[in-house]
Amino acid sequence: MDKKFYTFLIFPGAHGKLHRIRLPFYGVHLVLALSVVGIMTIAALANSYARMLLKVSNYNSLRTEREALKTQNRSLENAVSQTNAKLGSLESLATEVALTYGFGQAHRLRFPEAALALATQSNSTVESSYRASLYAFNLIRRSALTPTGGSVAMGIFPSTELGRETVPSLWPVRGQVTAGFGQRLDPFSGEGVFHSGLDISAPYGTRVDASADGIVLQSGPESGYGNEIVVDHGFGMATKYGHLSKIFVVVGQEVKRGQVIGAVGMTGKTTGPHLHYEVIVNDTPVNPTKYLHE
């Protein structure tokens, strides 16, 4: 059997000698295969090189962003340090004013120590320190002082009397009283327990109003009462609002009589939507009906 060949004719020019090259059949196919492999190898190398260039570019971008973030972080640290310094000055000023002029025993708000303790905690956050300072500021502003003659506090802190706006006489929510103040059977255990307030039934989400002017002492979750608000009304009086679905005030905020501070809910230990309402006088719960009108 004759072998197959490919014949290639080469014309060097019009007057040149004709050259003829014969290549076996398999040789041409081998050259073509090697050419394809070479092209693919070159393409793979080019692709790998391009990917390497892209990674280098991404690395340089990340390094630039990292340096920018480090610079921004240093700026934020400086801003936080300055803010903490200003906050510390404000807390010191509030404490010094409180200690210098004092709070009248009969007129002072009930919980100044809680605010000062919160403000001086070593692990307190900027937010908690701000709220403590806000509480202390409102505490000083609302407190009735009796300054001595010639005191610089004269005219700064107005004297107030225990009146309608500071007595928790407004019903915080309208509804049926399902549990009164005093001894009752616990709905969970069935045993006799002391109930320190009133349970007022109302639809879920019903607005809850502040029963008197005051400053928010506590605002957030509390064991048993769920979402809870405690308002300090001064003169040793405070009110508590428990089982709330929503809270619209923060610690240190000053509230007015009739202002919406939350909404009725079922948070905490409860069998249905209602408001747990307490009146506290000198750390002792008292019957709220003594103060509520109608």
CATH of the domain at 184: 2.70.70.10
Q: Domain tally for the chain? A: 1
pLDDT, position 102: 52
How far is residue 291's CA from residue 275's CA, in Å, rounded to a whole number?
17
pLDDT, position 115: 52
pLDDT, position 211: 93
Q: Would 222 be classed as within a structural domain?
A: yes
Residue ranges making up the domain that contains 220: 176-290
pLDDT, position 274: 93
Q: Would 219 be classed as within a structural domain?
A: yes
CA distances from 66 to 48, 70, 226, 283 (A): 26, 6, 43, 54
pLDDT, position 26: 72
Q: Which residues of 49-88 are buried (b: 16+ CB within 10 A; e: fewer)?
A: eeeeeeeeeeeeeeeeeeeeeeeeeeeeeeeeeeeeeebe
Contact 231, 103 (CB under 8 A): no
pLDDT, position 104: 39
Q: What residue has token string 């008292």? A: 286
Q: Would 225 be classed as within a structural domain?
A: yes
Q: Would 214 be classed as within a structural domain?
A: yes
Q: Which amino acid is at 89?
A: S
Mean pLDDT by 10 residues, the chain (294 residues): 67 70 74 87 90 88 88 84 69 60 44 51 57 64 44 36 73 90 72 83 94 91 89 88 93 91 91 91 86 76
